[in-house]
Structure 1
Amino acid sequence: MSRTDLAFGSRQRLPSSIVISTVWRILTRQIDTNQAQDDTVLREACTQARYGSDREPARKAMAATRGDYDRRARYVRVLAESTAGGLGSRVDRTTGRVDTDAAWTDQWAARAPNNPDAQLVRAHSLMSRAWEVRGGDWASAVRPEQWAEFHRLLELAGQVNDLARHLAPEDPTPWANQLELMIDQGASTEEIEETWRELTRLDPWHRQGHALKLTYHCKKWGGSHEAMFDFARSVAAAAPAGSPLHVLPVCAAAEWALWEHDRESPDSTADEIGQRWRQDPIMQSDLDNALSLWFHQPANRHADWLNDANFLAYGLARTGRDADAAPVFASIGRYMTTVPWSWWGDRVRGDAAFIRARRRARRAA
């Protein structure tokens, strides 16, 4: 967009602050990265708990998910992550520690010690705050004091999660939390597999659990590309039609591209990675299967549907399949997810990559 366009026909040069604010208003109308997305109940619960000091909407929202384990996993994650950057994430300048009593999740759990919902959300909140302390850099860039606080918070999260598991023994959600904790803490393969068996016993097609197991197999977590793709494709091959697990191989490809661009071939361009995908018949088959066996199925939308749609749109866009991507983008609307769009590469912002890919798809429709 030129400055002439922004000035509605005027050729006068605008101050940079006006240009930036105008572009920002346009972008924020086009995208919405709130993790609650189009779930108005979840949005209100997060907002009221974090900013309005009213935990009742969160309590009611979580109580309504009992028995609906797909939605329950999402609500736990999104409610917990609403604490990131807030009061409960502030680091004490004297001790260097995060306050683990001040967040609304801490206060809810303290006042409802026998409520598994409160304990689940607090456990995941502590995990989110641990990652906020650690940061998103590669392990070699994390300072010793960050590692110490990271592990302290994860250990506390494990204790709280154990209580949640005791309070709700038939709920797979604490086992998904446990799997994530074990991956974060570098647990042994035997411990990971034991947790995995219990999780899948309670819910054989648990979406978040499978996404976490994929993470465990990623090269960045000590796995390998081969193990990651083998897991993703074997799960997709066995999953019933309509299952979001048909998108898992596309998620694996996005992980591969991130590693390739950041670690193996940092000088490669996003277009070069896209070209490799276009020339890979197995990758094209993965995209075809995700479209036909999940996206075009008449099944009801699962809780993290928009997240999976973003991964599918990302895969289609990177391979130049803009016409196929058009209905996927139409279903997403403005609800862009930061991951995987922030992985595009070439120093392109995630929102810019999303908007550019969506524009190409609309033109190809």
Structure 2
Amino acid sequence: MILTVWRLLTRQIDINPAQDDAVLREARTQARYGSDIGPARKALAATRDDYDRRARYVRVLAESTARGLGSRVDRTTGRVDTDAAWTDGWASRAPADPDAQLVRARSLMARAWGVRGGDWAATVRPEQWAEFHRLLDLARQVNDRAMRLAPEDPTPWVNRLDIMIDESAPLEDVEETWRELTKRDPWHQQGHVLRLTYHCRKWSGSHEAMFGFARSVAATAPTGSPLLVLPVRAAAEWALWEQERASPAGTADEISRRWREDPVMQSDLDNALSRWFHQPATRHADWLDDANFLAYGLVRTGRDAEAAPVFASIGRYTTSVPWSWWGLGRGDTAFLRARRRARRAA
């Protein structure tokens, strides 16, 4: 019975982080399970002039090492193995290849989060923090090597910004990294998402700083730009904080009602729909991630019929975030429930 239900679910959803990118799926599968890094090397080499896709490829390939063979813990020292993952071997064999160093740096970051876990900081044990920071320090060293090897590439600066967020770096240090990143790519999608994360209340900022950044970027972003979705991402972060930290005794429905009744947040959804989703623009690398955020915002605020075409465009490719933030149990369950609502309303 359980197997039958699982097969039914897997026909409806696809949680592979490579999503509908056949090249990335093959590269990830071969590197992770077949020990053949040839497809990964070839795929990354093809992104040298496509920074948007490059950032995604580095992230998805690197995260395949988290909680895998490359994340074994030494029982004597309590440390995570930093030599066993395919990314470690590739970087060791190709010390002058910026692609190899980028992916290894990112994989060390993923392994650091595997140690820390995704819970709130107060629940993390001291020994987890120690190993988390050790892995991030090593990731920084490897990433600095990638910077020297590819000085014009914004991707190492994306990695650096992510590490700074993980360590709650001072704003002036973040600003310096931000200047270097945007000098190389002013509209870098993942870079902007990370900067938004830095401003979140759960990290180093506040609701006001987060929404201020998101809306200022969206106000100047060109039509069709994925940066028009930033305020919707901000609203999802706001809802998570309010639901789990500010009003833990409240319900997800109460947070959804507040979101629905806020005219500015509704305007943000309107803007993302009209100026991004309904525009015949070329799909950027993280398009499905942004579409999941847009569908989430629409359904949480009762705009089910408007969410229907967004779900149709997503197809099977659900993302854990933000659906796991709704408070309805598993993220895939929340996605399927929301999609059914939207289909009925269409």
Q: Into which bin does the TM-score normalised by the smaller protein fall?
A: over 0.9
* Aligned equivalents of 1:350, 1:47: Cα separation in 2: 23
Q: Cα RMSD between the aligned structures?
A: 0.7
* Aligned equivalents of 1:353, 1:181: Cα separation in 2: 30
Aligned-partner SS, 2:48: coil
> Is 1:354 aligned to residue 335 of structure 2?
yes
> Is 1:32 aligned to residue 14 of structure 2?
yes
Deviations 1:76-115 (A, max 9, x none): 0000000011111111111100110110000000000000
Map 1:286-301 → 2, pairs under 5 A: 286-301=268-283
In structure 2, what is the equivalent of residue 324 of structure 1? Answer: 306
> Cα offset for 1:54?
0.3
Q: Which of 146, 167, 190 is the matching residue for 1:185?
A: 167
In structure 2, what is the equivalent of residue 119 of structure 1? Answer: 101
> Cα offset for 1:348?
2.4
Unmatched runs of 5 consecutive residues or more in structure 2: none
- Identical aligned pairs, as a percentage? 80
Q: Which runs of 4 or more aligned residues in structure 1 lie more than 6 Å from their structure 2 counterparts after TM superposition?
A: none
* Aligned equivalents of 2:243, 2:26: Cα separation in 1: 38
Q: Which of 280, 302, 320 is the matching residue for 2:262?
A: 280
* Aligned equivalents of 1:286, 1:273: Cα separation in 2: 17
Larger radius of gyration: 1
> Is 1:45 aligned to residue 27 of structure 2?
yes
In structure 2, what is the equivalent of residue 57 of structure 1? Answer: 39
In the superposition, the TM-score normalised over structure 2's length comes to: 0.99
Unmatched runs of 5 consecutive residues or more in structure 1: 1-17
* Aligned equivalents of 1:284, 1:132: Cα separation in 2: 36
**What one-letter code is carried by the residue in structure 1 that aligns with 2:61?**
L
* Aligned equivalents of 2:321, 2:147: Cα separation in 1: 29
**What one-letter code is carried by the residue in structure 2 that aligns with 1:233?**
R
Deviations 1:299-343 (A, max 9, x none): 100000000000000000000101110000000000000000000
Q: Which of 141, 145, 158 is the matching residue for 1:159?
A: 141
Aligned residues: 346
**What one-letter code is carried by the residue in structure 2 that aligns with 1:30?**
Q
Deviations 1:44-67 (A, max 9, x none): 101100100100000000000001
Q: Which of 207, 216, 240 is the matching residue for 2:198?
A: 216
* Aligned equivalents of 1:353, 1:53: Cα separation in 2: 35
> Cα offset for 1:222?
2.6
Map 1:239-258 → 2, pairs under 5 A: 239-258=221-240
Map 1:265-276 → 2, pairs under 5 A: 265-276=247-258
In the superposition, the TM-score normalised over structure 1's length comes to: 0.94
Aligned-partner SS, 2:202: helix
> Cα offset for 1:354?
0.6
**What one-letter code is carried by the residue in structure 2 that aligns with 1:153?**
L
